[in-house]
Amino acid sequence: MTTWWAEHAWLPDGLATDVRIEEAGGRFTSVTPRTRPRDGDVRLPGVVLPGLANAHSHAFHRALRGRTHAGGGNFWTWREQMYAVTRHLDPDTYFELARAVYAEMALAGMTVVGEFHYLHHGVDGRPYADPNAMGHALVAAAREAGVRLTLLDTCYLAGGLSGDGHLPLDDVQQRFSDGDVDAWAARVAGLEGDDTTRIGAAVHSVRAVPRDQLAPMAELARGRVVHAHVSEQPGENLATQVHYGATPTELLAEAGLLDDRFTAVHATHLTDGDVAALGAARATACFCPTTERDLADGIGPARALAEAGARLSLGSDQHAVIDPFEEARGLEMHERLASNERGRFAPDDLLDVATARGYDCLGWSDGGRLEAGALADLVAVRLDTVGTVGSKAGQVLYSATRADVDTVVVAGRAVVEDGRHRLGDVAKLLGSSLAAVRDHR
């Protein structure tokens, strides 16, 4: 059993002071405000938040940070550079890279990550001796980095979509595909979760999974959380409309995928009907603000989705930035730019999006909250740094960055203390793993 004491802690009903938090067996057993510290309490600095959730990650995209941002282009030109990285990844190099990336997330206060995983097979498209070798590498990487993982194993069957129909897989995409949805499901059946791992499912997009495969996918994935890239680009919408006479959201709804376990990633270019459908289904929309602006994707209708009944979560996606505070601020700031109004989301709302809503859409409905019975995941953010000193505890989401994270606890165990990860020098881990997978031409 561990007992912590904090001057400030963000509880489900708001910010509280002088809070004692007790844990046993990886869960909070009591959370009591207005108490005094006792001998043996672990004193946490600043303000304590629930564990922060990264609901959308492609770990290998971290290799592109600082290398794809100059010059022009758009999502589609960036994608070619992203594909080049995949040629250097195998189970060993992917484990090393993902472990370092997940450790970087932990340093930033992220305690659970949803890995949108479609890099399944060898470079030539042939399965490894263990057909889930790449997925097992990610599970092992998250375990060593000390974060929870939802492996969103992704079905990827076609090379794209034009008005004339789906395109064949290219040489790079061969390793993403199982051939059909039944083969995908048979492979995924070999994956098992544990205390810190969940196995979810994903439709890469309606570009990559043809219409006739979506309904079987919904049936085979029943009982799992399901994520999909949805309307990230106008070109996706146009191709889907021309070929199928429907929006991506309408195709997913027709297949029976839209429900309260479904997450639409990006959800940037939605029609009013799409917004209403996602809201009626109580689905989640996962926004990735730092990626959506880096790739010039656009600003999605976050406020409209929330008002329609959809839930929101956040992800760092391509990892141009790994900072949950920046993602949370980005959700609000993008809304301000689009609406010319401030306060589109209250601080309590932003924290809920960054914590409990993210946990829930990743299949951890008992996490992301500081309350008895919840998973014992927490983050302590300093209020005495250059960036946060003078801030009110209740507005720390607007002033803090990843550099202000002091302590991170997952399942009752400290993963980060005094701003240092238990694995040691994470920058060194990143440097060596990135060197192994980058194209140095």
Do the strands 165-167 and 160-162 form a parallel or antiparallel pair, or are they unpaired?
antiparallel
Is residue 260 annotated as part of the catalytic site, yes or no? no
Residues 437 and 257: their CA atoms lie apart, in Å, by 35
Catalytic residue (choose from 56, 117, 166, 266): 266
The CA-based dihedral angle spanning residues 427, 433, 438, 441, taken in that order and rounded to the nearest 10 degrees = 80
What tokens does 146 get?
Answer: 């000390």
Please tell me whether residue 257 adopts helix, strand or coil conformation: coil
Q: Give CA–CA dist 389/383, Å, rounded.
A: 5
Element (H, E) at 239: helix 234-244
Q: Is the CB of residue 287 less than 8 Å from the CB of residue 257?
A: no
Whether 303 contacts 335, CB under 8 Å: yes
Q: Which of 317, 323, 352, 377 is catalytic?
A: 317
* Cα(404)–Cα(96) distance, integer angstroms: 26
Residue of 149, 151, 154 whose CA lies nearest to 200: 151
The dihedrals phi and psi of 274, each to the nearest 5 degrees, come to: -60, -45
State how far Cα 278 lies from the chain centre. 19
Among this protein's residues, is 92 annotated catalytic? no
Closest listed residue to residue 105, CA positions, set 67, 55, 153: 55
Please list the active-site residues.
266, 317
